[in-house]
Amino acid sequence: MRYAVLGTGMVGQGLATKLVSLGHEVTMGSRRAGNEKAVAWASATGEGGAEGSFADAAGSAEVVMNATAGMASLDALALAGAENLAGKVLIDVSNPLDFSQGMPPTLSVCNADSVGEQIQRAYPDARVVKAFNTVNFEVMVNPSIIPGSHTLFMGGDDDDAKITVRNLAVSFGWTAAGVVDLGDITAARAMEMYVVMWLRLFGIAGTPHVNVKVMQATS
Amino acid sequence: MRYAVLGTGMVGQGLATKLVSLGHEVTMGSRRAGNEKAVAWASATGEGGAEGSFADAAGSAEVVMNATAGMASLDALALAGAENLAGKVLIDVSNPLDFSQGMPPTLSVCNADSVGEQIQRAYPDARVVKAFNTVNFEVMVNPSIIPGSHTLFMGGDDDDAKITVRNLAVSFGWTAAGVVDLGDITAARAMEMYVVMWLRLFGIAGTPHVNVKVMQATS
């Protein structure tokens, strides 16, 4: 499969490297082709990895992963271009963390809206799935770092797109049952607001390799 | 121990009944003494249960539990009176759910503030612990409804007050290790925003007897 990974940070690099290791063709997208980190990543990766602008990356891909910072995601996707996103599965991994007011960060959007919903509204022809934003970038692509079964949340309006995401997660090492579908794209509110809890857990656990497992009574 | 439970809804009734069953003296507080639901509860409960105004309840208690609706909590505590809260452990179980815009509810306060923090700021002499708001009222006092170990979150500025809450939770059936101290009272933001995730989990699980377990890598 041909993937675009938008963003050159730790999340983007972790996802892109994992995808190449699984045999996919990956183009890492950034604001301008030739981004130093993207070039270094692509050359270290060998044949499976390429780099380019956000539009280059999205245009070449069947599945687009948004791994840009949440506050910059709408700008990044505008550069990617609606025509390069239409009809595609667009996996939104971003979190709208606002560090401008100091620590702990606040969210630049929350409660009655979310970045996931903003993206779906801005690109109605894209098949947006919010996923992978509730875990650390290493756990994301290697869930066995945390012993035992634990949960990966996702949400989106397109059921087929969510099957794609579930299969991708399973290829990363998640169990199919561990991928919890929270429903439509408004679930992005819950998933983005949950990150405030995750940041507290990170703080007290002393490791970013911390997650939750959903548990329920048998009915 | 003498407890006040402020609020006559399902959460208040569940907590008050459990406390009486454990041998505590409980006064259920409401806006005016003689509240029909509080009178019915107290008479059904027998010797351990009484009812009265918010001020009656808080004044009689060593530990005060706020089980009013989050949007009404500051008003309820104003009626309870600062003099009846000073120095006491004040366990804030509330969630600021706003149903006025339809379903799903939004939060009337979140992100850079929380009800827990508002209460601590309004009553600096109370020892506020945010706790029990992240689970259903039945799970709250009977965690074994959900098989296996799972997590109860708490946060607050007063370490001794958190020991009181942890011991109370253990008396309800939680394991000591299952009670996760998220830190100071700003943790209330994470705990209240998490409820948006909990509401999604409730929706997909088809049972309110759903919770999460924190899991982490061994360092």
Rounded to the nearest angstrom, the gap between the alpha carbon of residue A36 and the centroid of all alpha carbons in its chain is 22
Q: Which residue of A has its CA nearest to B218?
A: A146
* B112: nearest Cα among A13, A104, A18, A208: A104
Inter-chain touch B201–A189, beta carbons under 8 Å: no
A93: closest CA among A31, A18, A7, A179? A7
Whether residue B211 lies inside any domain: the answer is no
pLDDT digits (tens, 9 = 90+) for A140-192: 999 999 999 999 999 999 999 999 999 999 999 999 999 999 999 999 999 99
Residue A219: inside a domain: no
Tens of pLDDT, residues A6-50: 999 999 999 999 999 999 999 999 999 999 999 999 999 988 999
Residue B212 placed within a domain: no
pLDDT at residue B130 is higher than 70: yes
- Collapsing DSSP to helix, strand or coil, A71 comes out as helix
In a domain, B31, yes or no: yes
Dig out the tokens for A39 from the structure. 């070039």
pLDDT of residue A160: 98
Cα distance from B141 to chain A (closest Cα, Å)?
A: 15
Residues in B closer than 8 angstroms to A106, CB to CB, are 111-112
- All residues of chain A having their beta carbon less than 8 Å from the beta carbon of residue B200 are 155, 182-183, 187, 190
For residue range A65-104, list pLDDT tens digits in order.
999 999 999 999 999 999 999 999 999 999 999 999 888 8
Instruction: List A4's β-bridge partners, or say none.
Output: A27, A64
Name residue, tokens 């009656």.
B56
Q: Is residue B147 part of a domain?
A: yes
Chain A closest CA to B178's CA: distance in Å?
A: 13
- Which residues span the domain enclosing A123? 2-205
Verify whether the Cβ–Cβ distance B197 to A186 is below 8 Å: no
Q: E strands, chain B, where?
A: 2-6, 25-30, 49-53, 63-66, 89-92, 97-98, 106-107, 127-131, 152-156, 179-181, 210-216
pLDDT for B155-168, tens place per residue? Answer: 999 999 999 999 99
**What residue of B is the nearest CA neighbor of A218?**
B146
> Taking Cα atoms as reference points, which of A57, A67, A17, A11 lies closest to residue A34?
A57
CA distance to partner chain A, nearest, from residue B177 (Å):
13
CB contact under 8 A, A210 and B216: yes
Hey, are the CB atoms on A206 and B219 less than 8 Å from each other? yes
Whole-number Å distance between alpha carbons of B166 and B170: 6
Provide the 8-state DSSP code for A173: T
CA distance A108 to chain B (A): 9
Res. A219 pLDDT band, cuts 50 70 90: low
Residue B210 lies in a domain: no
Q: CA-CA distance, A165 to A168, in Å (whole number)?
A: 5
Is A215 among the domain residues? no
Best of A216, A218, A219 to substitute, by most chain B Cβ atoms within 10 angstroms, is A216
Mutation site for A-interface testing, chosen from B117, B138, B212 by largest number of A Cβ within 10 Å: B212
How many domains would you assign to chain A?
A: 1
What's the pLDDT tens digit per position in A96-138? Answer: 999 998 888 999 999 999 999 999 999 999 999 999 999 999 9
pLDDT at A176: 94
Residue from A193, A207, A209 to probe the interface with B (highest B Cβ count within 10 Å): A193
Residue position matching structure tokens 């459990």: B18
pLDDT digits (tens, 9 = 90+) for B24-45: 999 999 999 999 999 999 999 9
Residues A163, A159: Cα–Cα separation, whole Å: 6
- When pLDDT is cut at 50, 70 and 90, the band that residue B219 belongs to is low
Residue A119 to residues A62, A82, A130: CA-CA distances in angstroms?
A: 18, 11, 10
Whether the predicted interface score ipTM is above 0.90: yes
Q: What is the CATH number of the domain that holds A55?
A: 3.40.50.720
- Calpha distance B147→B180 (Å, rounded): 18
| Residue A165 to residue B66: CA distance in whole angstroms | 42
A190-217: pLDDT as tens digits: 999 999 999 999 999 999 999 999 999 9
**Confidence label for B104 from pLDDT (cuts 50, 70 and 90):** confident
Could you give the C-alpha distances from B85 to B17, B72, B88, in angstroms and in order?
22, 17, 6
pLDDT band at B102 (very low <50, low <70, confident <90, very high): confident
Return the residue of B nearest to A210 by Cα: B216
The answer to whether residue A217 sits within a structural domain is no
